[in-house]
Amino acid sequence: MPQVCIDARGLTQVFDDGHRRNVVLDHVDLRLDFGEMVAVVGPSGSGKSTLLNILGLLSPPSEGTCILDGVDVTAMDPGDRARTRLEKIGFVFQSFHLIDHKTALANVELPLKYLGLGKQECKDAAHRMLDELGMGHRSDARPSVLSGGEKQRVAIARALVSRPKVLLCDEPTGSLDSRRSTEVLEILREQTGCHQTTVIVTHDPWVAEQCDRVLTLADGRLVETRATDVVMVDGRGTEAGVGTGIEAGVDGDEAATGAATETISVSGPNATSTSPTRTPVPARELNGRKREKWFRTSLVEAADAVSCRLRRNILTTLGVVLGVATLILTSGLSTTIAGQISDAFDVFRAQRVVLTQTNRDALTADQAVELAAGPGFAALDRLNGVTAKAVVRPVTSGVETVTTVPEQRQQFDGRVQGPLLSATPGIFEAQRQRIEEGRGFDEGHMARRDRVAVIGRALLNSLGVTWTPGLTLYVGTVPITVMGVASENPSLSDKHGAVYLPLGVGLEGHDGGPTSVVLATTPGAASQVGREAPTALMPDKPGAFAASVPPEPESLRRVVDQQQRYLLLGVSGVTLLLGAIGIMNTFLVAVLERRKEVGVRLALGARPLGIVTQFSAEAVLTSAMGTGLGIALALDALATISLVNHWQPVLRMDTVLCGAIAGLAVGLLAGSYPAWRAGRTDPVETLMHA
């Protein structure tokens, strides 16, 4: 008795589009034995492809059962159907359906990769299969340079490399001329051994004549019309007999040379057939090993697809590149700039305490001089952390016009204004200013109330004059001799261009403003000095002066940096969003463009979850390229900006890590929907219209 390969009972397929019920297959019974080469014929729309899809486990029947190699495959879940299809079924399509970016060898290797064979095992088995079909010399060629016959041979090699139990061929000669058709039929005959059943769907009567049995589908019913024994002579088929059970001959050349054959029953207890024994290959054993490694294979295939579309993927990653670069550069620049600002404030503002009068009645010039000469002011030197001190009093209540010649007009073109201050000689040390030209005034000038001054560099520049000994400037019509020029402290913008007179010097008609005491401190001592200084200055009236203490450098950095950081982070977030949209759009288009490839992979036995994994991995790998480029761009930009501005670049590694995670997350999220769409691809619909 022949061994049964497929035993189907009552197969029914009904399609209901909501308007009418279309019965494509109507309780079809079918038995296929190992060693048979069976043709399925019938008019277009009779259900031939539907039957093929059911036998190939691409779609389940509406009713009925199907036993494949002794196992009921009817009620299998999608994962088990994919695994069974991978291990026991091979497909040969009319349109070949080779994956364009893969070589002939890589196309043939694909089923073995999904089965979990090692890299070298896959190559060896694929090479042997191509050699067996006369395509070994074209193993490195891509489908675009192969002829139709060569493509079909590669497609057959891919279907046979895993040594399936069932080989399903859908119009395998429909795109070929008569000579190539003969070659393909010879190959299929040679490859159909005692462990395989070959089913060919065809419209070509000549192809049907080359098969052991012919099954005709009409009106949803399957009828066996004849069985033929064909002897191949010069590529033409000659019918040797018709009936329900006859002997099938072998290729004439093989008979003449005494090629090894084995006899099997093909269509009944009285029918036998001979076919050549295939050379066994290690791939034959993999059906029993069940080493399927779909996850690893999906990742490898994703890397291969990304590398083959490198130029296109680089353009796709542009949004991720800009987003990640902006994100990292934002944080790096914010930290770097804040560092520069905090350094400047560390020099002065974070080490400066100002004691200001709280009384409404300001001290007069004489009272300010008495304060500077009193024991309280001297006691400030004994406070821990105080490095310099000075008393300063505005000579006028606002800014004054300073000119190089006497000027009584209130308004004129080019007038220069600045604050007019009187102070003790220590004011420049207390305010972290340097005497750049000339010298400062001393206690003698203060005692004599000399009208000499030290001016800020900004005022001298605004006047457009050069300092020389004896330089005289005028406040209104009052002459003042300039003794020296002081540098400007960037943090004292309200005192830029000031005119400093000895404490006690006043101007007629001006009462002046409230007196202040400026203290310079060591780093970290400002808070403590601010608490102790008012009492030390005036023990009997500790509330007469209030201390103004600067914020700590870290607090200052946060205040200065916060708005800038939020703004730039918002920009980088928008850029990353645009990058995500770009990746999603690109991969949605890619899913549509690669529907044929996805359908082929599913038909070969790839799991839907494996397709989802592959496309998700492609999106992540694509975004990983963009992330790497974005990090490099951010580092280069930060280094360049810092170099130009003579800054010390500051970039924390956790910032780079966050940028990398953000870039990869964008790829994963953006690729999840296209990957889900790819996993839901219907291989039947896809391959039918490809």
pLDDT surpassing 50 at residue 274: no
3-state secondary structure of 491: coil
Domains of the chain by residue range:
4-292, 296-342+556-689, 359-543
Helix %, strand %, coil % of the chain (to 5): 45, 25, 30
Looking at residues 223-251, what average pLDDT do you find? 40
Looking at residues 543-552, what average pLDDT do you find? 82
Sign of the alpha-carbon torsion through 55, 58, 64, 65: positive
Helix ranges (H only) for 646-680 are: 653-679
Helix ranges (H only) for 310-456 are: 310-316, 318-347, 365-373, 375-379, 427-430, 443-448
Distance of CA 452 to CAs 130, 422, 503, 504, Å? 102, 10, 11, 12
Condensed to tens digits (0 to 9), the pLDDT of residues 123-132 reads 999 999 999 8
pLDDT of residue 563: 61
pLDDT of residue 286: 46
Measured CA to CA, the distance from residue 390 to residue 387 in angstroms comes to 11
pLDDT surpassing 90 at residue 118: no
Backbone angles phi and psi of 245, in degrees to 5? -160, 105
- Kind plus residue range of the DSSP H or E element containing 251: none
Sign of the alpha-carbon torsion through 191, 196, 197, 198: negative
Strands 352-357 and 545-548: antiparallel
Looking at residues 82-103, what average pLDDT do you find? 89
Q: How sure is the predictor about 145, in pLDDT bands with cuts at 50, 70 and 90?
A: very high
Measured CA to CA, the distance from residue 331 to residue 637 in angstroms comes to 12
Residues above pLDDT 90, as percent of the chain: 36
Condensed to tens digits (0 to 9), the pLDDT of residues 499-529 reads 999 999 988 888 888 999 999 998 778 888 9
pLDDT of residue 3: 87
Distance of CA 591 to CAs 272, 383, 587, 618, Å? 48, 75, 6, 12
CATH of domain 4-292: 3.40.50.300
DSSP string over 567-588:
HHHHHHHHHHHHHHHHHHHHHH
Q: How sure is the predictor about 265, in pLDDT bands with cuts at 50, 70 and 90?
A: very low
Measure the N-to-C terminal CA separation of the chain; round to a whole number of Å: 41
Strands 71-72 and 89-93: unpaired
Condensed to tens digits (0 to 9), the pLDDT of residues 395-442 reads 998 889 999 988 877 777 778 899 999 999 999 999 989 999 999 999
Helix ranges (H only) for 116-240 are: 119-132, 148-160, 178-191, 205-209
pLDDT surpassing 90 at residue 484: yes
Spatial CB neighbours of 76, under 8 Å, sequence gap ≥ 6? 57, 84
Looking at residues 639-662, what average pLDDT do you find? 83
Backbone angles phi and psi of 274, in degrees to 5? -115, 140
**Residue type (1 letter), 160:** L
CB 161 within 8 A of CB 126: yes
Measured CA to CA, the distance from residue 23 to residue 51 in angstroms comes to 12
**What is the pTM assigned to this prediction?**
0.59
